[in-house]
Amino acid sequence: MKMPPFELLMPTSLEQALELADGFVAAGEEFDWIAGGTDLIPNYKWHLNPKANVISLAKVAEMSELSSTHIGGMVRLHDLSESEITHPLLKDAAGSIASVMIRRSGTVGGNICLDTRCYWFNQSEDWRESIEWCHKCECGTDADCRVIANQNTLCVATYQADLAPALLCLNATIHLASSKGKREMLLSNFFELDGMTRNVLQPGELVTHITLPPESSELIGCYHKLTLRESWDFPEAGIAAAWKLNGKEISALKVASTGLESIPRVHDEEVAAVLPDWSGKESIEILSEALRKSIKPVNNTGLKPNYRRKMVKVLARRCLNQIMHK
């Protein structure tokens, strides 16, 4: 498989990177950021929305800072999972991503911004041509979505990154930057429900780092995911949960999901319904069932959606049971 040619730019500072990006935006030219490249390069090889220009962040040193509350966008997943100061929940999630090889290259920022995936999209150009393209990579044909027929307003490709639910449970804040300035927001506000836009990033903007509130260290968390194989595979469902335990008092319970819909989601509503009368095992059962009901996967990955949905309940139950006994 041959990649289409592109120009690779290697800025050495964040400022320079944003300037370069600004140049492309001003000129109306499309470009991609590349961090570890473990998502972008395969997509380019498949000719999935390749751009003529690519800005590499590999030499932007200031994005690699790692502390217990600050995680640079360019921190390698492997470093995150191996570091002593990483929150145990993040360690778990990061250590479960793909394989060692990919974790050594892939980055935190890249994982959060992972492109959504779909059986009708992650295919070669010839293949997509023979199904007459799809909404997410239409190649100028105005093609419909191939998963949910006769519509081209929403892309339902699945978000299959592992870090997001863990970070969501820890109340992470995401920090963005562009030549126009910096902004920050709760990670839960970063994602936008559409498999194509995916998040709030504007052209020329990137994820510089993530911060965790200091009290996140008091949270006990757990991440479970569904994959066919222990290594390599993207999660077909993933549930993270975290809470604070004061004696027998439970507070700050968060549950988040990934691998099921176009974006990762925090399930505050379902939690709020059971938390006031928390009774351990029974509540876990009620909450797990509520989560199952609230999540609606579509048929675009390896395992069937009704099964993935049922597994939400099992994964949630396992997560909650596990943190209950931690």
Partner 1 sequence: MTDEEEMVGYKQQPGKIPFSRPGSGGKDQFSALQDDEMIPEGQGGKLSQPWGKHRHDELVTSTSIGNRTPLIDGCYKVTGQAKYGDDIRLSNELIGKILRSPHHFARIKSIDTSAAEALDGVIAIATGADASNTFGVLPVTKDEHALAVSLVRHVGDLVAAVAAEDEATALQALQLIEVEYEILDSIHDMKDGLEDSENPIHDRGKYHIGEANIQKRVFQEFGEVEKMIDNAEASHHSNWIFGGVNHGFTEPHATVANWDPRGRLTVYTPQQVPHYLHRSLADVLEIPMHQINVYRTFVGGGFGGKSDPFPHEMCAAILARKSGRPVRITFDREEVFLTNRGRHPSHIEMNLHADSQGRLCGVETDALIDGGAFASFGHVTTYYNGVLHTAPYEIGAFHYTGARVWTNKPASGAMRGHGAVNSRCAFEVGLDDLSDKLQVDPMTFRLANLLPPLSATITGFRITSTGMRECLEKVRKASNWDDRFRKLPLGHGIGVGCGFFISGSGLPIHWDPNKFPHATVHLKIDMDGGVTIHTGAADIGQGSDTVVAQSVAEVLGLPLDMIRVRSQETDTAPVDLGSYSSRVTFMNANAAISASMKIRQELLDATADITGADPAKLVIGDRRIYDKRDPAVGVSYLEALHKAQEERGALVASGAYRTPPMGRAHKGAAAGLAPAYSFSAYVAEVKVDVETGQTSVINVWAAHDCGKALNPLAVEGQIIGSCHMGLGQVLSEEMVYGRTGHLLNGNLLDYKIPTVHEMPKVFPIIVESNDPEGPFGAKEAGEGPLLPILPAVCNAVYDAIGVRVDELPITPDRMHRNIEKLCRAQGISDSLELETPTLKLSPLQELLANRAEEHEKRDIARRNNDDIEPYHNGALFGFTATLPADEQSEDWKVSVIPSQEYIDNPRLAGSAWKHIERRHRGDDA
Q: 229 or 325, CB closer to partner 1? A: 229
Element (H, E) at 92: helix 88-95
Distance of closest approach, residue 226 Cβ to partner 1, in angstroms: 7
Distance of closest approach, residue 54 Cβ to partner 1, in angstroms: 18
Q: 3 or 61, CB closer to partner 1? A: 3
CA distance 20 to 235: 34
Tell me which residues touch partner 1 (CB under 8 A): 1-2, 5, 119-120, 122-124, 126-127, 129-131, 226, 228-233, 302-304, 307-308, 310-311, 314
Distance of closest approach, residue 67 Cβ to partner 1, in angstroms: 32
CA distance 28 to 31: 10
Q: Of 264, 272, 219, whose CA–CA distance to 241 is shortest?
A: 219
Distance of closest approach, residue 325 Cβ to partner 1, in angstroms: 17
CA distance 50 to 40: 9
> How many other CB atoms are found less than 10 A from the CB of residue 317?
20
CA distance 326 to 245: 10
Tracing tokens 């911004």 back to the chain, one arrives at: 113
Q: 10 or 102, CB closer to partner 1? A: 102
In angstroms, the Cα distances linking 259 to 30, 148, 171, 202, 249 are: 28, 18, 19, 24, 31
Q: 31 or 133, CB closer to partner 1? A: 133
Q: 232 or 272, CB closer to partner 1? A: 232
Fill in the amino acid letter for 226. L
Considering only the C-alpha atoms of the chain, give the largest distance between any 2 of them, rounded to a whole number of Å. 61
Distance of closest approach, residue 72 Cβ to partner 1, in angstroms: 28
CA distance 67 to 316: 29
Element (H, E) at 311: helix 305-324
- Radius of gyration for the chain, computed over Cα atoms and rounded to the nearest angstrom: 20
Q: 111 or 123, CB closer to partner 1? A: 123
Q: 70 or 232, CB closer to partner 1? A: 232
